Chain A
Amino acid sequence: MTNQAIDNLQKDLQELENNTEARDIFRLAQARNKALSQSDSKQRNRLFPALGASMASILLVSFFFFQQVPISINDEFVSGVNSEERLFELDDENLDLYEDLDFYYWLATNEQGATG
Chain B
Amino acid sequence: MNVSLVSKKKPEKMRLNTAQVGLGYNSIEDFLKTIERRAFHMARMATGNADTAMDIVQDSMFKLVEKYAHKTPQEWKPLFYRILNSKTTDYYRRKAVRDKVFPWSKYVVNTDSDQATDIVDLTAGRLSETPDEMMMRSQRIDKLTGAVNALPRRQREAFMLRCWEGMSTIDTAETMKCSEGSVKTHYSRAMHSLRDMLEDYNYD
Residues of B within 8 A of A16 (CB): 41, 141
Binary interface encoding of chain A residues 7-33 relative to chain B, with 1 for a CB under 8 A from any of its CBs, else 0: 011101101111111001111111111
Contact, CB under 8 Å: B141 / A32 = no
Complex: A4 Cα to B69 Cα, angstroms = 39
Q: Contact check: which of B9, B13, B57, B164 meets A28 at CB < 8 Å?
A: B57
Smallest Cβ distance from B95 to chain A, in angstroms?
21
Contact, CB under 8 Å: B202 / A15 = no
Residues of B contacting A: mostly: helix
Contact, CB under 8 Å: A12 / B164 = no
Q: Give the interface size bracket for A toward B.
A: 35 or more
Please name the residue on chain B nearest to A27 by beta carbon. Answer: B54
Complex: A110 Cα to B7 Cα, angstroms = 95
Contact, CB under 8 Å: B66 / A5 = no
Residues of A contacting B: mostly: helix
Residues of B within 8 A of A18 (CB): 124
B residues 99-130 touching A (CB-CB < 8 Å): 122-124
B residues 148-200 touching A (CB-CB < 8 Å): 163-164, 191-192, 194-195, 198
Residues of A within 8 A of B66 (CB): 35, 38-39, 42
Residues of B within 8 A of A20 (CB): 37, 40-41
Q: Contact check: which of B29, B69, B163 meets A10 at CB < 8 Å?
A: B163
Complex: A44 Cα to B86 Cα, angstroms = 29
B93 contacts chain A at the CB level, 8 A cutoff? no
B65 contacts chain A at the CB level, 8 A cutoff? yes
- The residue in B50, B58, B191, B192 that gathers the most chain A C-beta atoms within 10 A of its C-beta is B58
Q: Contact check: which of A5, A13, A15, A36 meets B10 at CB < 8 Å?
A: A36
- The residue in A26, A33, A36, A38 that gathers the most chain B C-beta atoms within 10 A of its C-beta is A36
A46 contacts chain B at the CB level, 8 A cutoff? no
Contact, CB under 8 Å: A37 / B6 = yes
Contact, CB under 8 Å: B65 / A36 = yes
Contact, CB under 8 Å: B144 / A40 = no
Sampled A-B contacts (8; CB under 8 Å): A17-B37, A28-B57, A30-B3, A35-B32, A36-B7, A38-B65, A38-B66, A40-B9
**B interface residues with partner A (beta carbon < 8 Å):** 3, 6-7, 9-11, 13-14, 28-29, 32-33, 36-38, 40-41, 50, 54, 57-58, 61-62, 64-66, 69, 122-124, 137, 140-141, 144, 163-164, 191-192, 194-195, 198, 201-204
**A interface residues with partner B (beta carbon < 8 Å):** 1-2, 4-6, 8-10, 12-13, 15-21, 24-40, 42
Q: Given known contacts A5-B201, A8-B201, A31-B61, what 18 new A-B pairs fall within 8 Å (CB)?
A: A1-B194, A1-B198, A1-B201, A5-B202, A9-B144, A12-B201, A13-B163, A19-B124, A20-B41, A24-B50, A31-B54, A34-B61, A34-B62, A35-B32, A35-B62, A35-B64, A36-B28, A37-B7
